[in-house]
Structure 1
Amino acid sequence: MAKAPSPRRRLSSSQRRKLGVMLMGVAALVAVITAHAAFAPQAFRLTSLVFDTYQTIKPRDATDPPVAVIDIDEASIGTLGQWPWSRRTVAEIVTRASGLGAAAIGFDIVFSEADRTAPARLVEEMRRQGIAIEVGPDLPDPDAQLADAVAANAVALGIALTNETSAPAPEPKAGFAFVGPDPQARLLPYSGALSNLSLLSERATAMGYFSFPPTPDNIIRTFPLISKSGDRLYPALSIETLRIAQQAGSFVLRSAGSSEGSAMTDLRVGALDIPVSADGEIWIYYSGLPNMPVISAADLFDPAKAATLAGQIQGRILLVGTSAVGLRDIVATPVDPAMAGVKVHAEIIDQIASGVFLQRPDWMIGAERAAAIAVGLVLLLVLATVTPALSVMTGLLLAGLVGGGSWLAFSRALTLFDPLLPLASLGAVLLTALPLLLMLTHREKRFVRESFGRYLSPTLVERLSENPEGLTLGGEDRELTILFSDIRGFTTLSEKLTPTELTGLLNNFLTPMTDVLLQREATIDKYIGDAIMAFWNAPLDITDHPQKACLAALDMVTALERLNSESGMRLKIGIGLNTGMACVGNLGSDQRFSYSCLGDSVNLASRVEGMTKLYDVSILVTDDVQARTTGLLFAEVDRVRVVGRQAPVTLHALMGASLDTALGQTELLERHGSFIAAWQAGDLGAAREYLRILQALPPNALSGTHKLYQERLETLPETAPDGWDGVFTASSK
């Protein structure tokens, strides 16, 4: 027999209220922290939007930046011709810009192919077309002219590191010195690169990458200053131009921790120290660069503008990029949805030179979680001790402190503290514990006003008079087989009947159903309108309870058929069965409770009953029921992910006893089984063929199921899509 709930000391109403509020609030806190950890990438996208808003409100202060942009714009193309220009023209840009005093020049462009305008290539093309032409042996080579200009001046060529190619990146030009353990394991790796012509790469004295790593929302908030391709380290174009502008020979990378768990802390470029994340990234703090000169490339060839350009170029780092239509390298940033990529690199250079850096240390996530727990517990203590109105005011005050603290951390200390997790914990506590507090407070007032006995179940009066200590909540975990059933279309049916007629209908229906269940040793839990909930194996042990539950379900269908025949009605029912562990006992409240059960297995039984409507069958059972029965016929109908559960459950239609095979169900079950196997394997062609054969059979207990699958197949392609698992996800109960 079931073990009786152990007597427990009754808590006062105030103690129960505090305990309920605390437990509910703690559960909400745990759920929020767990969800934040489980969905960290998605949560960080929301966090990033907060930080974007901060930058929009308070961008970095504008400076007289040490960087300018040489823009290959529409005017330049109109003046100098279509892109790509001759490398002779690009070499002239380098020479003229250096002559005007540029501290360094960086190319946000890759010269990966030979110059199409080279005289040798033009002569070759003319000869290929049959044009006889004689030229001297020493034709000028524009690529060599650009290589000479690059070698003679402080120029950093650009490359694009990528995982879309395995072409190796050229040998880096800068060296790296390490202070602390080697942190290379933390660097962003790439399989290859889009590089410049070998002639250019060999002559260049500096080289850096300008390619942006992909982000979930394509907004550039951070940029790795160091990356890895193969076993080589490469600097970003921004710090490489800073290096050659200062005539420094190498970079110094500092890290902390052990060799297994090292993390970068900062990077030195010449005389400049740059704090970086553990992965070598810098948070970009945008100013918009309102004072940065943007020079049209064509202006470098206009002698009348030489004096003006000298004032804009002298002592500055120049980045060569494009803004012309068709050549645009456009990216989204927190302050501009369409910013030229070269301008992002200019922002990094200006930020480093000005020494203004955003900080988000590795320990910040731990601090945010600690803050979430702290404010949540403070609010819980308030909820458990003061009125709901004061609790709400306290919650709003805590939310203001969290939001204000996050803004002050950004605006005063340039530190990025995410307020969303602490705010979410406050919201979760309020939305879960506050309703419970209101409910318990209301119930306590009602309890004082009304008689306690009015809320007791009449069936418990005898027992409670003998044992008052029985008025406690409690239960035990047992394996049960749970049944749910209800009448199909009852709402529509009830609209056509008067209350008296509806009452008579329910009584006529529930009486034979109750008789059947009691005969099969069921414990009837409750009636919910037209629905019945029952279970087996409590309070008494019932052997073979899954078998008896299935037989009871079949008897209920038979009894309904008999009732319909006698009354002329056409009622239909759906029955769902599941076997699993549940908590069973005196469940409810101190004021009113009944012998019942609850748990995931109970919820699943209810969901299974709801699925009978979808598949148009009378009885559905789970694997746990079907596997523990003998002498019964089942047809697997689907694997379903029911509402509230992630793991799919296999559903079987209970067709009857094994003797029913003599009634012609053998062919139906065999062909149906072949169809289900093809469906779950993703062989949709075979599934369609089996379904055609099944639908040609006379109407049967699975005809509605087959019609449902026909509708599904009509929406699917000829072959199963990638990731097919044959599982149906239910969207309603």
Structure 2
Amino acid sequence: MATGATTLLAKSDEAGIKSVVVAGVEIETERDGQLWLHFTPHDPRRYVSAADVLSGRIPNDRIEGKLVLIGTSAAGLYDLRTTPLERAMPGVEIHAQAIESILDNALLLRPNYALGLEICLALAIGIGIIIVVPLLGALATVLLGIAIIALLGVLSGYLFVSSGILIDVVYPLVSSTVVFLLLASINYLREEKRRAGIRSAFSQYLAPELVEQLTREPDRLKLGGETRTMSVLFSDVRGFTSIAESFRENPSGLTELMNRLLTPLSRAIIERRGTIDKYIGDAIMAFWNAPLDDPDHAKHACEAALAISERLDALNEALALEAQNGGESIPPMEIGIGISTGLCMVGNMGSDIRFDYSVLGDSVNLASRIQNLANSYGLRILICPETAARCQDALAIVAVDDVRVKGRKHAVTVHTVLGGPELLRDPKFRSFRTAFETMRAHYLRGEWIEAMNALEASRQHYDDPRIYRLLDIYASRIATLKRRSSLEGWTGVFTDMYPGATELLTTDQNWTATQPWVEGS
């Protein structure tokens, strides 16, 4: 009406209305015909009081040749509107700003492709997050997200200021944030499931603090199998079969005894960072330095063996006291423990139906073999040379014998652990160990008189029932070997030819002992 135009021309494209032409002035719009105003603050200079106009107080040139809008500004007439810049602005002023923007060609432009561009941005950022999060991790993704937000904000601001183009980056950012949070939630649930699996898999044979460490640092767990230097322990209660036979009429009593036996022995292992591999009847197999690193694995294994021995003694005392009070009479239990240190393969072993976290290797076989030999020497603990070398300065260790165990071509020097640091510092023990080592040196060279003298000296330096049988074995060997007319083929190496006994091994196949030098019990 103000322009006197008789026609109204609307231009459109595939997305909808593009612009409207009035009196030769093209007004760009959204696809639904709406305008995007570039709002300005409230300006009183736009207003002329209607009362002043009617009373003639307004000069004619103030309104002559201008477009005049008549409206209200009183709050009670309900024509106040909120704009991005003002909490309350009269609706008539908003119309005035719209006309000014049209005439000055200052309308904001939101192109018809804007929505498609925003959707594409949302999809691109969302897909990027899905790809990048697993590769970069959460922290790097957050930093990248902050950089993208800043970049989009700068781009949107630049287009707004320089060209008046409106690109809404809020939608892409909100949608990508939702994708990120969804991924984070999925990863959290997956991590919780993984931790629950680790707890379930290891809680039965690892110390609780080690299980928690694994759940906090699951990357330290390699379930696929890996080669490590490890210490392996085998323990077996001697004569338990006959004890079990005495419970044939009382299976629940045998179960209770097994639990009373295995519980303290297992705790001795777990408390020293050991991993229980399996129970084989009354026997226990355990290992150290997996699944978590343990630089002192050999020392911890030996300390566990000493603790097992002490706790078995405590159990024997408790059972003897119960027998005195009318309980089941159970003979004292003895135990053999073998420890070997070396390269092993550790990981999930088994089939596609069932598998366990276990260990394989030559050290496993050696630990089992020397465990079987321990009782032959009247000792509870035997360890391999590598284990002894790692613990020599921390525990009371003595070299016992050179033995070729079944399944191995070369002999190994087995050692025993008699005590901890306190015993190691005991002058009597040190004197005993020196005398015993001297005896073995003479013994290996075939110097029988010197060996016997050193053996007697070792008896005098240290009086411990645990080594009586070992000393008696060497006394018997030396006495027998002294009667030999020749030392041809003598190597000083013994072999476990059959369970529970060792025989003299020489390089001469025709020269064999007439009886086992160490009789089985």
TM-score, normalised by the number of residues in structure 2: 0.48
**Structure with larger Rg:** 2
Q: Highest relative contact order (Cα 8 Å, sep 6+), 1 or 2?
A: 1
